[in-house]
Structure 1
Amino acid sequence: MHKAPLLIAGLIAAPASAAGTLTVTIPRLAVAEYHRPYVAGWIEPAGGGAAQTLFVWYDVKKTGGEPGTKWLADLRTWWRKGGRGMHLPADGVSGATRPAGVHKLTLPDGIKPGQYTLYVEAARETGGREIVSTPLSVPLKPASAAGKAELGAITLSPR
């Protein structure tokens, strides 16, 4: 009897982890000079460990002496946790800034089961900076948090 094919079939049939929807709300602000915020989202293992960037939205088209990446350091926490070491643009991670409204993203498959913290940070030119966090469990369970100024509701929902 060959046990190897059964073992391999069991590994292939193992459930994929994470995959769900992350919703990020950018509120409409009534200010004289409004600029779309730079926003980054990442997860960190609850017990400590390396951060994994899920997305970063910035001015990808700005070039020249002050390219859009120059201002990513304003996302101070994300920058220190791993942003400064990223080569941008990063396929599937980086994208253009978003207007005010609700934005949905699909969480990637392949996040190992366990406990994490999800962070979303926003910084805006001539505006403020805000970071919101919420626990994230894999397999994914619903979770939410809300910002007070630069960010609105942040929600996680399983597929």
Structure 2
Amino acid sequence: MRHLIRTIAASALFVSSAAFAAPQMTVDLTLSEITEGQYHRPYVAVWVENTQGQPVKTLSLWVWDEGHKWLKDIRRWWRKAGRDDMSFVDGIASATRPAGHYKIDWDLKDELGKALEPARYTVFIEVVREHGGRDLVRQNIDLAAGDFSVQLPATTETGVIDIRLSGMAR
């Protein structure tokens, strides 16, 4: 009997936690393997802007250890979010990544940890390689529209990019 009660309680907890799962956006990003020419790992910035073009949150920033002087090459991100606060940059930057598949999760909160209003935003993915290419990919998202999934076509520097939003109540 006790086992049955524990099983029912655990099941109810699992179902209720799934029903109230926190909203989340996931960006599945693939960095292309480039075999011709001199290859350097790319600098990558993934961030979100509001409809006024103001940065809301930098989700990921991958740079070389000594790469601070090259951050300005991630042009849009640098102008919008990076150049004003180097301590912010130091706090979020991590090492560059080799070609491969990467998952970036976002809890739909801004830089201060405040939940975003259900509105329209734009996700930006900027990939820049020394002696290589530059790609700036953008996708509009509407948090008021509920869950969605979109697949962005491959570019020179990236493979196909999947963006998914889940856990949104309508």
TM over 0.5: yes
1:48 aligns with 2:48: no
**Equivalent in the alignment of 1:107:** 106
Identity %: 35
Segments of 5+ residues of structure 2 without an aligned counterpart are 1-19, 109-114
1:151 to 116, 136, 158: 158
1:35 aligns with 2:43: no
**Equivalent in the alignment of 1:89:** 90
**Equivalent in the alignment of 2:68:** 69
Letter in 1 for 2:90: P
**Separation of aligned partners in 1, 2:67 and 2:47:** 20
Segments of 5+ residues of structure 1 without an aligned counterpart are 1-14
User: Which SS does the other structure have where 2:70 is aligned?
Assistant: helix
Higher-helix-fraction structure: 2
Q: Give the CA deviation at 1:38.
A: 0.1
Deviations 1:43-84 (A, max 9, x none): 111x3142131111001xx3xxxx311111000111111111
TM-score normalised to structure 1 length: 0.76
User: Which SS does the other structure have where 1:89 is aligned?
Assistant: helix
Q: Give the CA deviation at 1:147.
A: 3.9
Aligned residues: 136
TM-score normalised to structure 2 length: 0.72
Is the CA contact (8 Å cut-off) linking 1:18 and 1:111 kept in structure 2? Answer: no
1:19 aligns with 2:20: no
**Separation of aligned partners in 1, 2:107 and 2:95:** 19
**Equivalent in the alignment of 1:120:** 125
Is the CA contact (8 Å cut-off) linking 2:31 and 2:158 kept in structure 1? Answer: yes
The structure having more radius of gyration, on CA atoms, is 2
Dislocated runs of 4+, deviation >3 Å: 15-18
**Separation of aligned partners in 2, 1:31 and 1:112:** 45
**Separation of aligned partners in 1, 2:126 and 2:94:** 15
**Equivalent in the alignment of 2:77:** 78
Q: Give the CA deviation at 1:17.
A: 6.7
Letter in 2 for 1:70: K
User: Which SS does the other structure have where 2:26 is aligned?
Assistant: strand
